[in-house]
């Protein structure tokens, strides 16, 4: 094929574009890498300084009330977190939780307004949908390349890669939830003379809450799935322990760190599901 069709220098074009973006927007990337990075690491260190037993009690109480005063999730949270504490990986758990927390919050803050925009504009949906397809089908490791180029190594590039990977579900579910709101309800709201913002916040978003929360749950789980991948660019936490165990062929340490990730995933997943049910 190369004999008949010259090879397009796509890689060179991308490199030039990345260099231009890095140079033109360094005034954004540098503060994010430094100030925001220090804030994230400071948050993780602050969480690590809280007595572990106090954290376990707080999580157990949250699980008890969020689950509708069922004790199953509380018991699992206590046993699981005590296991993590017993294995001396508590500090790594706090760094992992911080990464997930910030990545999920940023994804939701970006995703829900985009989903609302898609539900209100056919043009926005036509433009944003292919971008979401690209974000969801691109291999996760590819996200690490621009993350390292723009932000170096550490937690900030890990959060950047997680946001890119985890944002599409909450965008799609928000769009879907609002579009599924009954036409009769929307027409009734129009008949009462509601404004656009009133209709959105008092009718459409409350009716779409269940679907949007399902999207938030998927976004949080995808952020968690990036923990190990983000460790390859210096993000500390349980993922870093898994990567280290893989490089040294330490099956036991890798299993313990992986089990810590599973425990955290189950606790977060069940809590977000209960929040969705108890509306």
What domains sit in the chain, N to C, each tagged with a CATH number? 10-49+87-277 (1.10.3720.10)
Read off the pLDDT of residues 18-63 as tens digits, 9 standing for 90 and up: 778 777 777 777 777 778 778 888 888 888 888 989 999 999 999 8
* CA–CA dist 83, 56 (Å, integer): 11
What residues contact 219, with CB distance under 8 A and at least 6 apart? 104, 107, 108, 111, 166, 167, 169, 170
Q: Are 219 and 169 in contact (CB under 8 A)?
A: yes
Q: Check pLDDT > 60 for residue 7.
A: yes
pTM for this model (two decimals): 0.85
Element (H, E) at 180: none
**What is the predicted pLDDT for the residue at 25?**
74
**What is the predicted pLDDT for the residue at 166?**
87
Read off the pLDDT of residues 72-131 as tens digits, 9 standing for 90 and up: 888 999 999 999 999 888 888 998 888 888 989 999 999 999 999 998 888 988 998 998
Q: Are 150 and 159 in contact (CB under 8 A)?
A: no
**What is the predicted pLDDT for the residue at 82?**
93
What residues contact 274, with CB distance under 8 A and at least 6 apart? 66, 67, 68, 73
Supply the mean pLDDT for the chain.
84
Q: Are 277 and 209 in contact (CB under 8 A)?
A: no
Q: Check pLDDT > 60 for residue 1.
A: no
Q: Check pLDDT > 60 for residue 2.
A: no
Report which DSSP code applies to 202.
I
* Distance set, CA 71 to CA 77, 181, 199, 271 (Å): 10, 34, 38, 13
**What is the predicted pLDDT for the residue at 112?**
92
Q: Would you place residue 279 in the very low, low, confident or very high pLDDT band (cuts 50, 70, 90)?
A: low
Q: Which residues of 54-84 are buried (b: 16+ CB within 10 A; e: fewer)?
A: ebbeebbebbbebbeeeeebbebbbebbeeb
pLDDT over 70, % of the chain: 97
């Amino acid at each position: 094929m190369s004999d008949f069709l010259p090879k397009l220098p796509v890689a060179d074009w991308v490199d030039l574009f990345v260099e231009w973006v890095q140079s033109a927007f360094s005034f954004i990337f540098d503060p994010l890498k430094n100030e925001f990075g220090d804030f994230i690491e400071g948050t993780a260190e602050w969480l690590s300084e809280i007595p572990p037993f106090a954290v376990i009690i707080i999580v157990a109480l949250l699980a008890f009330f969020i689950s509708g005063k069922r004790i199953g999730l509380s018991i699992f949270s206590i046993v699981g977190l005590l296991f993590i504490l017993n294995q001396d990986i508590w500090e790594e758990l706090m760094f992992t939780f911080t990464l997930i927390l910030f990545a999920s919050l940023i994804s939701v803050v970006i995703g829900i307004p985009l989903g609302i925009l898609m539900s209100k504009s056919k043009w926005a949906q036509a433009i944003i949908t292919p971008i979401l397809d690209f974000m969801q089908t691109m291999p996760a490791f590819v996200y690490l390349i621009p993350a390292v180029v723009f932000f170096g190594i550490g937690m900030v590039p890990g959060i950047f890669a997680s946001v890119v990977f985890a944002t599409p579900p909450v965008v799609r579910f928000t769009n879907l939830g609002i579009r599924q709101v009954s036409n009769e309800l929307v027409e009734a709201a129009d008949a009462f003379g509601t404004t656009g913002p009133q209709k959105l916040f008092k009718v459409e978003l409350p009716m779409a809450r269940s679907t949007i929360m399902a999207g938030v749950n998927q976004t949080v789980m995808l952020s968690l799935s990036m923990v190990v991948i983000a460790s390859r660019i210096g993000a500390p936490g349980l993922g870093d322990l898994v990567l280290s165990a893989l490089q040294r062929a330490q099956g036991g340490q890798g299993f313990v760190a992986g089990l810590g990730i599973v425990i955290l995933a189950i606790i977060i997943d069940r809590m977000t599901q209960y929040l969705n049910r108890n509306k």
